[in-house]
Amino acid sequence: MAAHGLLRWSFAILLGIAAASTASGRPQIVPGRYLVEFEDQHDQSSFASNLKRSQFSAQLRISIESTIFKGASYQFDSDQLGEDALQALASMRSVKNVWPVSMIRRTTDDVIWSGSDPGAIPEGIRKQVTGENGRFPPHIQTQVNRLHAEGLTGKGVKIGVVDTGVDYRHPALGGCFGPGCLIARGYDYTGDQDSLINDLDPFVNCSDHGTHVTGIIAAQPNEFGFLGAAPGAEIGMYRVFTCADEAPSDIVLAALNQAFIDGNHIITASLGGADRWSAAISVIAQRIFDKGVICTFAAGNSRRGGPFMVTHPASSKDGIAVGSVENSEIPYILLNATWSAGNSSPITFGWVHGRPSAWGNVSLPLYVGDLDDMTCDQFSNADNLTNHIVLLLPDICRPWYSSTYAARKGAKYVLTYGEGEKPPIVEFPDPSSKLEYSLPTAVGSLPYSVASKFVTLTQSGETLFLSITDPELADKYVDSLPNTGAGFMSSYSNWGPTFELDTKPDISIPGGSILSLFPLNQGGYGVMSGTSMATPLAAGIFALLIEARGELMTDLKNLVRSTSKPLNFLDSKEPVPYLAPVSQQGSGIAQAWDAVHANGIPSISKIVLNDTDHFVQTHDLTVKNVGNKSITYLFSNRGALTFYTLEPNSFSPAEKPQLLPRYATVKFSESVVTILPGNTTIVSLSFTPPADLDASRIAVYSGFITLDGSTGERLSISYQGVVGSMRNITNLGSAIMKEPDSGPNFILPKDPYTRTANVSYQYPSYTLNAPFGIPYVDYAVFSVSRNASTSGTSSLGEYLGSLPPFPLEFLSPLSQQRLKWNGLLYNGSRVAEGRYAFVIKGLRIFGDREKEEDYITQRLDDFGIEYL
Ligand SMILES: *[C@@H]1O[C@H](CO)[C@@H](O)[C@H](O)[C@H]1NC(C)=O
Ligand SMILES: *[C@@H]1O[C@H](CO)[C@@H](O)[C@H](O)[C@H]1NC(C)=O
Ligand SMILES: *[C@@H]1O[C@H](CO)[C@@H](O)[C@H](O)[C@H]1NC(C)=O
Ligand SMILES: *[C@@H]1O[C@H](CO)[C@@H](O)[C@H](O)[C@H]1NC(C)=O
Ligand SMILES: *[C@@H]1O[C@H](CO)[C@@H](O)[C@H](O)[C@H]1NC(C)=O
Ligand SMILES: *[C@@H]1O[C@H](CO)[C@@H](O)[C@H](O)[C@H]1NC(C)=O
Ligand SMILES: *[C@@H]1O[C@H](CO)[C@@H](O)[C@H](O)[C@H]1NC(C)=O
Ligand SMILES: *[C@@H]1O[C@H](CO)[C@@H](O)[C@H](O)[C@H]1NC(C)=O
Ligand SMILES: *[C@@H]1O[C@H](CO)[C@@H](O)[C@H](O)[C@H]1NC(C)=O
Ligand SMILES: *[C@@H]1O[C@H](CO)[C@@H](O)[C@H](O)[C@H]1NC(C)=O
Ligand SMILES: *[C@@H]1O[C@H](CO)[C@@H](O)[C@H](O)[C@H]1NC(C)=O
């Protein structure tokens, strides 16, 4: 069917809402594109006849069919079809599920360095990435090197990678594509631009991500001296991203489905979304796990959101969500510039530019500020500074404020520095914003050692000249600092748990500053950081485990989690002698050799104690001895730091939650058990949450049940619970109703589809910011009596129905809904001019949808509408 013109609903559903969008920075909905799952007895043709009967017209995009999913995605005429189409499609007989298609981002990761010459690898990176004899730090940290030494390579294991495509021409990736090659299978859904192509060739050279990820899994011997974790595995690459960073969710779903059809034992995807629409991905992911396939997903790099920040599909119950551990050094990129004193020859130094950055090529003498803590004016003694580069000394004021004094003396170029060697990022206010004084036109910062040398030389009477090259053109180099956080969790790694209190992430893996492959045209090698880099290494570890043990999926996951090593917490830069919360690290850093060689296999590897309302006190732990020696285990409890999710009297998760050394206590039915070869034992665990916690702040406590075996093997089972009530803190956040800009009423177009050019329309609009997830939320409109002119005090009149696309299920934490109403109801009628009110109704977490008392409701201010 061809799309044509304006679509009207022929039955009792209509086009009601002018626009719907999620907050900026979150995945965007693709207008008019829907992913449909068909009912068992139905297929594309019965759906097509449903569409025809309702006078819809749509173009088929991708058909997605396998034993776990039968559906397709369609492009409808996008302009008129709002999100309300969801309701219409969902009500069709042939339709089991329907989701709008949204853009999924690949996890954004930092590129630290790239190049082709092993001789040119910066010293700071060389130390950490190319140890002697091919000892690769991420492999040492996870014991992968010890499995390689035993001859394990992941041979016979198939791994599907859903990513940006791969440069398989790289000699370290076998140089070819197709059966018999390292990259044996693949699919390209997108091409370089966003054209829907269905091509089997996943070659890419415009994006580094997929090649880097593939190298982490399977790099062959190369001149840099490192290997992939599973160089013997067979790789399938499913390309879902164009040269840019986004992929529509229908394509991601199709790719996961294809990776499943192709019989991959492991599927890995370093991508995710935080909104309800990407939940479709979690649905298929769950079915893939149910078929015994291991899936590893990046936990995400947006820790800014605080705890309970779990993205889809990493949040899916049986997937392995992977967090990131720090590498041993922190590399950073500097721009080359030179300085000289008197007639001396130029000496290079490194710096970074800030914002604004109108440097160009500048060669000027340096003027060093004169500290005056009282006023923040370091330039009271300066003459005209137009022809100087100014070095601002760190003082009690913000750099931009102190530099206004330099700007008043005409300075255009300002450098500053911080306490540490790594130059701080300096960003000044937008020059167009209203400021009393003007600002410099170019700013930047220096390493501490460089700045202090300049200060000392200047104070001893030297005049220094700096020659700075335009940042766009300047040579760059990488320097590095020892990482005090080495071996601890990366600060960017997302924290769990899910809002239904499932434990996420599952495990953690080195993801900071990882050397791997780049497309040949981008140098062939590069260093990147992020949970995207941790995730493929996790997939590689599972491949080694499958090769070695070939056991049932649940056992493999339990083995990897229970043999992981819990990590201490890193408080800013200082390690503290307390275990990091399970919400941050999951089971800890994976230990591949221990997982392959463990003889004790636990039946569970993470225990959910749930919240106060649903506290599950006792849990049975079964341990099987699959070895040929008996093992005596000593059981103990190691508590991890507890944290308060909320600030006092707040409903939003704190970005940096307050941590407390408070621990649950655990009673064991037996604390020492001996298990004979081939036998099992069951130990009953009884938990008591830590006392004296403020339940209103949602205290998340956690720890590990440790089993120290007489054979030297140690298992740890994570546990996590909440003191507080998820039900009680469920809230609708700030639902904001905007007032009309002018006049008492909102002005809507008479015909909802036609606007008169010279009328300024304004729609009643509302924004819902839910700080926590909401399982189910409805938005209804009511009439209010005409005589009630004061807002908020009148009584509600007739219930007129839900506003499309509400009711909605499963709003993720921090999701935002913004909608505009044009006066149309679901049944096709337009309301009369008059006064109305919106009422929001949200189901509490763990609430029963059938029970009124499980909802919270909020009525927004009344408003008037008129048509023009
Ligand atoms: C840039 O500076 C670094 C550090 O001083 C130096 O090693 C490198 O050679 C410089 N690069 C160029 C192109 O001058
Ligand atoms: C700035 O310097 C760079 C590097 O020396 C040079 O390539 C470029 O042409 C210069 N730009 C201008 C406008 O002089
Ligand atoms: C500094 O000198 C330049 C000319 O070199 C002049 O345009 C500018 O107005 C002077 N600025 C101040 C603050 O005196
Ligand atoms: C916590 O308890 C609730 C209510 O029983 C349940 O729905 C939920 O699944 C539990 N959470 C987990 C992760 O088991
Ligand atoms: C990238 O690959 C395409 C397709 O093979 C090729 O035409 C193009 O020249 C390559 N780009 C670069 C910069 O090597
Ligand atoms: C016990 O296991 C070890 C290694 O797992 C193996 O070398 C040995 O042959 C086994 N012994 C018996 C009696 O099966
Ligand atoms: C084997 O395990 C079962 C269940 O834990 C236990 O009842 C039985 O005594 C064990 N057998 C031996 C020989 O220890
Ligand atoms: C939840 O709220 C109810 C009603 O205010 C209260 O009785 C209950 O103690 C609260 N639960 C928790 C765990 O704070
Ligand atoms: C808008 O334009 C129409 C026709 O161009 C004109 O008749 C009408 O007066 C205008 N209305 C306003 C409010 O300017
Ligand atoms: C407002 O209207 C309602 C019904 O529309 C009526 O019951 C009520 O008495 C009126 N109130 C006033 C103050 O007129
Ligand atoms: C649509 O619903 C509204 C509110 O319930 C009602 O007033 C109106 O008559 C209905 N229109 C149709 C065509 O059923």
pLDDT in tens, 327-348: 766 667 788 999 999 888 999 9
Residue nearest to atom 8 of ligand 1 (CA): 477
* Candidate from 88-102, 274-288, 343-357, 786-800 with smallest mean pLDDT: 786-800
Q: What is the pLDDT of residue 610?
A: 98
Q: Give kind and range of the element (H or E) at residue 456.
A: helix 448-459
Residues 6+ apart with CB under 8 A from 853: none
Q: What is the pLDDT of residue 455?
A: 96
Q: What is the pLDDT of residue 428?
A: 83
Q: Is 123 exposed, middle or buried (0-12, 13-18, 19+ CB in 10 A)?
A: exposed
* Candidate from 54-58, 560-564, 686-690 with smallest mean pLDDT: 54-58
Q: What is the pLDDT of residue 22?
A: 28
Instruction: Determine whether the shortest distance from the Cβ of 43 to ligand 2 is under 6 A.
Output: no
Q: What is the pLDDT of residue 609?
A: 98
Please pick, among 84, 109, 163, 502, the residue that the annotation labels catalytic.
Answer: 163
Residues 6+ apart with CB under 8 A from 442: 353, 356, 357, 358, 359, 360, 362, 412, 413, 414
Q: What is the pLDDT of residue 19?
A: 22
User: In this structure, are strands 234-239 and 183-188 parallel, antiparallel, or unpaired?
Assistant: parallel
Residue to probe by mutation, ligand 5, list 167, 518, 521, most atoms within 8 Å of CB: 521
Q: HSE-up of 472 (CA within 13 Å, CB side)?
A: 5
Average pLDDT over residues 44-66: 85
pLDDT tens profile 352-401: 988 888 999 999 999 999 887 667 889 988 999 999 999 999 887 888 88
Q: What is the pLDDT of residue 4?
A: 27
* Candidate from 131-145, 286-300, 413-427 with smallest mean pLDDT: 131-145
* Candidate from 571-585, 592-606, 762-776, 839-853 with smallest mean pLDDT: 762-776
Average pLDDT over residues 412-430: 87
- List the one residue out of 396, 388, 449, 451 whose CA is nearest residue 414: 388
Q: Is the pLDDT of residue 268 over 70?
A: yes
* 246 φ/ψ sector (left φ>0, alpha ψ -120 to 50, else beta): beta
User: What one-character-per-residue DSSP string does 392-423 give?
Assistant: PPP-SS-HHHHHHHHHHTT--EEEEE-SSSSP
Q: What is the pLDDT of residue 10?
A: 21
Average pLDDT over residues 463-475: 91
Strands (E), 294-383: 294-298, 320-325, 329-341, 347-357, 362-368
Torsion angle of the four alpha carbons 754, 755, 757, 759, in this order, in degrees rounded to the nearest 10: 150
Q: Is residue 94 flagged as an active site residue?
A: no
pLDDT tens profile 166-206: 999 999 999 999 999 999 999 999 876 656 677 889 999 98
168 touches 185 (CB < 8 A): no
Instruction: Determine whether the shortest distance from the Cβ of 449 to ligand 1 is under 6 A.
Output: no
**Ligand 4: centre distance to CA 102 (Å):** 28
Instruction: Determine whether the shortest distance from the Cβ of 3 to ligand 11 is under 6 A.
Output: no
* Candidate from 363-367, 500-504, 571-575, 585-589 with smallest mean pLDDT: 571-575
Most confident of 264-268, 570-574, 751-755: 264-268
**Ligand 2: centre distance to CA 331 (Å):** 27
Instruction: Determine whether the shortest distance from the Cβ of 706 to ligand 1 is under 6 A.
Output: no
Distance (Å, whole) CA 750 – CA 732? 32
Instruction: Determine whether the shortest distance from the Cβ of 348 to ligand 1 is under 6 A.
Output: yes
Distance (Å, whole) CA 241 – CA 105? 9
Question: What is the rounded average pLDDT for all residues in the chain?
Answer: 85
Residues 6+ apart with CB under 8 A from 25: none
* Candidate from 33-47, 581-595, 799-813 with smallest mean pLDDT: 799-813
* Confidence class for position 787, pLDDT limits 50, 70, 90: low
**Ligand 7: centre distance to CA 620 (Å):** 16
Average pLDDT over residues 305-330: 84
Q: Is the pLDDT of residue 458 over 60?
A: yes
Residue nearest to atom 3 of ligand 8 (CA): 728
Q: Is 215 exposed, middle or buried (0-12, 13-18, 19+ CB in 10 A)?
A: buried
Q: What is the pLDDT of residue 196?
A: 67
Q: What is the pLDDT of residue 204?
A: 92
208 touches 114 (CB < 8 A): yes
Q: What is each CA distance from 733 to 274, 313, 730, 773, 814, in whole angstroms?
A: 17, 25, 9, 10, 9
Instruction: Determine whether the shortest distance from the Cβ of 412 to ligand 3 is under 6 A.
Output: no
Residue to probe by mutation, ligand 4, list 318, 610, 722, 851, most atoms within 8 Å of CB: 610
Please report how the helices 249-261 and 279-290 are oriented relative to each other, as an axis angle in degrees rounded to 10. Answer: 10
Distance (Å, whole) CA 163 – CA 209? 7
- List the one residue out of 725, 726, 736 whose CA is nearest residue 819: 736
Q: 789 or 540, which is more confident?
A: 540
Q: What is the pLDDT of residue 11?
A: 21
Percent of the chain with pLDDT over 70: 85
Q: Which atom of ligand 2 is nearest to the CA of 470?
A: 1
Q: Is residue 812 flagged as an active site residue?
A: no
Q: Is the pLDDT of residue 463 over 50?
A: yes
Tokens 């599927």 -> residue: 267
* Confidence class for position 23, pLDDT limits 50, 70, 90: very low
Q: What is each CA distance from 160 to 295, 540, 606, 665, 674, in whole angstroms?
A: 9, 11, 26, 42, 41
* Candidate from 122-136, 396-410, 491-505, 536-550 with smallest mean pLDDT: 122-136
Distance (Å, whole) CA 527 – CA 543? 23
Q: Which domains does the chain have, with CATH numbers?
A: 3-103 (3.30.70), 110-328+485-597 (3.40.50.200), 330-478 (3.50.30.30), 599-728 (2.60.40.10), 730-867 (2.60.40)
Average pLDDT over residues 656-670: 96
Q: Give kind and range of the element (H or E) at residue 595.
A: helix 592-597
Q: Is the pLDDT of residue 451 over 90?
A: yes
Q: What is the pLDDT of residue 327?
A: 79
* Confidence class for position 436, pLDDT limits 50, 70, 90: low
Distance (Å, whole) CA 368 – CA 147? 56
Q: Give kind and range of the element (H or E) at residue 52.
A: helix 44-53
Instruction: Determine whether the shortest distance from the Cβ of 131 to ligand 11 is under 6 A.
Output: no
Q: What is the pLDDT of residue 792?
A: 46
Distance (Å, whole) CA 542 – CA 552? 12
Distance (Å, whole) CA 34 – CA 503? 31
Distance (Å, whole) CA 84 – CA 818? 14
Q: Is residue 116 flagged as an active site residue?
A: no
Residue 2: count of CB within 10 angstroms of its CB: 7
* Confidence class for position 805, pLDDT limits 50, 70, 90: low
Average pLDDT over residues 805-824: 70
Sign of CA dihedral 549, 555, 558, 562: negative
